[in-house]
């Protein structure tokens, strides 16, 4: 996967289009990423114990990786990720400004 935990991304499709956030968790098998505050849904929760309250809570759901794009930390633009091999190390680079991410 070209995106990593902690990357700043922007949503390019769906109900949250245009919003920005940092990746909190990645699910490579499902090709999804979890971004706090993005793709929130309301979930009805039953009380588990006596005296505990149930109700409706908002939960962030994972979003498909094809709906997010990386924001370059240097140029601040929406970009794709490229790779550069330097001394047997594979480095991620910004396709626009060619700087190592």
Question: Which structural domain, as residue segments, surrounds residue 13?
Answer: 8-76
> pLDDT 10s per residue in the chain (101 long)?
899 999 999 999 999 999 999 999 999 999 999 999 999 999 999 998 888 889 999 999 999 999 999 999 998 899 999 999 989 999 999 999 999 98
Side-chain-side CA neighbours of 17 within 13 Å: the count stands at 4
Q: How many domains does the chain have?
A: 1
CATH code of the domain containing 21: 2.30.30.30
Residue 71 lies in a domain: yes
Residue 91 lies in a domain: no
Residue 28 lies in a domain: yes
Residue 84 lies in a domain: no
Q: How far apart are CA 34 and CA 84, in angstroms?
A: 27
Residue 97 lies in a domain: no
Give CA separation, 16 vs 1, 70, 72, in Å: 22, 15, 20
Residue 88 lies in a domain: no
Residue 39 lies in a domain: yes
pTM of the model: 0.83
Give CA separation, 61 vs 15, 20, 65, in Å: 13, 15, 13
């Amino acid at each position: 996967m070209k995106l990593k935990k902690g990357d700043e991304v922007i949503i390019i499709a769906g109900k949250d289009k245009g919003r920005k956030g940092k990746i909190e968790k990645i699910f490579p098998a499902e090709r999804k990423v979890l971004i706090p505050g993005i793709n929130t849904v309301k979930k009805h929760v039953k009380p588990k114990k006596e005296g505990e309250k149930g109700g409706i809570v908002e939960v962030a759901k994972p979003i498909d990786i094809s709906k997010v794009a990386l924001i370059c930390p240097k140029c601040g633009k929406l970009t794709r990720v490229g790779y550069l091999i330097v001394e047997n190390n594979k480095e991620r680079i910004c396709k626009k400004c060619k700087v190592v991410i």
